Structure 1
């Protein structure tokens, strides 16, 4: 005669009503084959006595199981397990609730590589391997006010309803005007809003690539973008980068597309020269190569006016990707694509298959900040902050490490510095010793398509105060490891 495990009635760390835990225990035994189709269950009085609980609790559990179709109440015949259940699969242990079940599914899964780069431990005091904005300086009050307005009045009904996968008309109009200020000839039909630049890159890759195509990338570059290209079926081909940017004559003619960061090249911070830009556009036109231009930190250029994007020179053949998350905060997932209207239409159709639309409340919020000039004022403020932090990092590196350990040129913009390490520095030991001291550092190997070691490291300064940068330099000096 079946009996229910007595531990079911004890208080549970996972919580949940007692009747639900009793019902779950019965279901688990049915699934394991301990209870089979047609088996009679003890009466509610008997189970209540076994577990020392109120009979109404057992009645509630039985009612739940009847409603779910596991058991049937048969009057004089008693309560029985239904006869038309699937044959039980023997399990080694009682099945845990779905949220804590550690067993693997019985169906196969694709192998999907991580889009992140393991620069080191995530729980560290200072993550200088990344170049991200300082979220402590986000204009919270301005954002909050604009967000509240986006949720009030007639705008709220529109923003909270279904809308276009292209994004709100208001933000697309604002972005088009914003891009015209960069020299990009863009109207509303040339613009689509995305949830960050990663979505934009993924959609662009899916739009231009077919399985087996070659996608050219900078041999040191942004690994998450590479993963998007690979997921679209591409084989990657690395192109060298030197002091003038991408080495254009090494771009394979067979490439279907090129992903590039010409403004402040990721991660080297090199600016592509005007001659290289012209040569790249000519080669792309000659061989029908689509250019995906990621202009991820155009706003933060310190030396003179920013160089116009490739898209300003050839808006027809360049798919231009930008990010508003870099201006404000990574958690505000907002990016955009500017391209020929036929490209934008294709991207919108692709986007609708995975994400019906974006966050129209957030889009309306940011549109207001652009229209009122608040975003431009924030950019000017942050440009001054990041410029000062760049100079502060350079000064403390020289002070703490001296000129013989690292050599570098000040980047013309952005939020990170690229430095060459002296030949006698053991980079991997230095990385490990720095991690032990709470500092995560990224080296060239982390950004290399071929994973080959090179004597360079990347130091992000955008998200750290000048005092924090000084502490980073001190810890790096203490962690220094020579061969």
Structure 2
């Protein structure tokens, strides 16, 4: 093959293998390297560039992981043959098509998106893996966990429930007894169990609109009839809820996310909180409070949960998640409420899942007791605040004419409204064709007619480079619809 020149500069402070990787990507974008073209062997290129072979190997590996190259055993390394790139003459490209170091974001086929504006998921790459691995090893050496007589408590490992009781008291102002708390496989299980324990089939649970679609799924699976209540700039409309409660004798619960409303991120104000509690007592329905990301408040102090005000009143179930602090794949949630309700939830849980993951629960209990989880939370809070600010800057710079938003005080996502005359669903489909997943507002609504033209843009799972790439793709998708 003909020789391709790569420029490596000393004294830039950037690792040489990254420089070479980016030179390779630039050559592909410029058309100097063609789809399917074979690259020089690592030994030959290392000799040409006077680099160590391991440096070239690392550069090839980096570009391969990003999707620009493919490695074929016994044949060599090739430019990926499915890159829909238009060659750009050398010297005429004023800036890269995407931020440096991208993956294959330029794909225009129907394959799965390669970048995602999540619904507010954390970054699993920040997981305190060493601390968790140590705690898991210690738990695995506990014969009482693995070889005890019979199965464990369906409410969860006592050590984790004790740790959560202390945590909720110190951080959220809740006074929780050990018997009033159940650990579940994610908050989704807690929502389903709460609904199933509270209602008879056909009875009503009111939910926020727009709201959390998987909560609606859980409640319907439990047999509830789900009725939407509109959300405005101050949270759920308690007066609309009052009218529903007056006309629905079968209303048994209302589901709310008062700290950072899902998906709009607004915080429910004090007056509405008081009115909501009054309505619950007046109409004898239960409040299901989902405090899914309480840890991530960046500006000002976190607002205490409704549960902190209402205490052990009959009318409230408080649901939280440890998955937001650790990683989505580690399914740990919990719920606290009146003792009798938690007992019914435990009975229902035992019918489908005798107990939780005792090893994981014991390990996380250790992380809580030893302060590892607190340190991790403080670290990620700083990272996610920086990512929030960076995402806000990128969107304001690149899409200020098409998107508007208020910077949320906390949470892991932005609620962005799109300009008049634009269609969020069409924009979302165009972005998906380019390799970006972004969820339109209608996906958060029961009543699709009149759904907000908006996107929920999660930022926590994207590092700075990925965030820049995602915004470029979102902008390019908008331009494709003009």
The change in CA–CA distance for 1:455 and 1:384 in structure 2 (over 3 A counts) is same
Q: C-alpha offsets along residues 143-166 of structure 1, whole Å, 9 cap, x if unaligned? A: 000000001144444579611101
In the alignment, which residue of structure 2 is the partner of 1:366?
364
Distance 1:141 1:159 in 2: 27
In the alignment, which residue of structure 2 is the partner of 1:314?
310
Distance 1:193 1:135 in 2: 21
Which structure has the greater CA radius of gyration?
1
The unaligned stretches of length 5 or more in structure 2 are: 1-108
- Please state whether the residue corresponding to 1:240 is helix, strand or coil: strand
- Please state whether the residue corresponding to 1:180 is helix, strand or coil: helix
Distance 2:335 2:417 in 1: 34
The change in CA–CA distance for 1:262 and 1:122 in structure 2 (over 3 A counts) is farther
TM-score under structure 1 length normalisation: 0.73
Distance 1:179 1:333 in 2: 19
- Please state whether the residue corresponding to 1:263 is helix, strand or coil: coil
Distance 1:451 1:340 in 2: 36
The unaligned stretches of length 5 or more in structure 1 are: 1-119
In the alignment, which residue of structure 2 is the partner of 1:404?
401
Distance 1:304 1:292 in 2: 25
Distance 1:319 1:450 in 2: 26
Match of 2:458 among 457, 460, 468: 460
Distance 1:427 1:392 in 2: 23
Match of 1:286 among 282, 289, 295: 282
> Post-superposition shift, 1:405?
1.1
The change in CA–CA distance for 1:122 and 1:327 in structure 2 (over 3 A counts) is farther
- Please state whether the residue corresponding to 2:254 is helix, strand or coil: strand
Match of 2:341 among 343, 347, 356: 343
Q: In the alignment, is the contact (CA less than 8 A) between 1:263 and 1:295 conserved in 2? A: yes
Give aligned pairs, total: 363
> Post-superposition shift, 1:318?
1.0
In the alignment, which residue of structure 2 is the partner of 1:375?
373
Distance 1:221 1:258 in 2: 12
Q: In the alignment, is the contact (CA less than 8 A) between 1:160 and 1:361 conserved in 2? A: no
Using CA pairs below 8 Å that are at least 6 residues apart, which structure has the higher relative contact order?
A: 2
Distance 2:148 2:458 in 1: 36
C-alpha RMSD of the superposition: 1.7
1:186 aligns with 2:184: no
1:332 aligns with 2:321: no
Q: C-alpha offsets along residues 354-401 of structure 1, whole Å, 9 cap, x if unaligned? A: 110111111100000000000000010111111110000010111212
- Please state whether the residue corresponding to 1:166 is helix, strand or coil: coil
Distance 2:302 2:310 in 1: 17
- Please state whether the residue corresponding to 1:259 is helix, strand or coil: strand
Distance 1:137 1:226 in 2: 30
Q: In the alignment, is the contact (CA less than 8 A) between 1:369 and 1:375 conserved in 2? A: yes
- Please state whether the residue corresponding to 1:480 is helix, strand or coil: helix
> Post-superposition shift, 1:425?
2.1
The change in CA–CA distance for 1:381 and 1:158 in structure 2 (over 3 A counts) is farther
Distance 2:190 2:432 in 1: 33
> Is the deviation greater in 141-150 or in 159-168?
159-168
Distance 2:415 2:110 in 1: 21
Distance 1:399 1:166 in 2: 49
Q: C-alpha offsets along residues 125-183 of structure 1, whole Å, 9 cap, x if unaligned? A: 11114210101110111000000000114444457961110111111000011111201
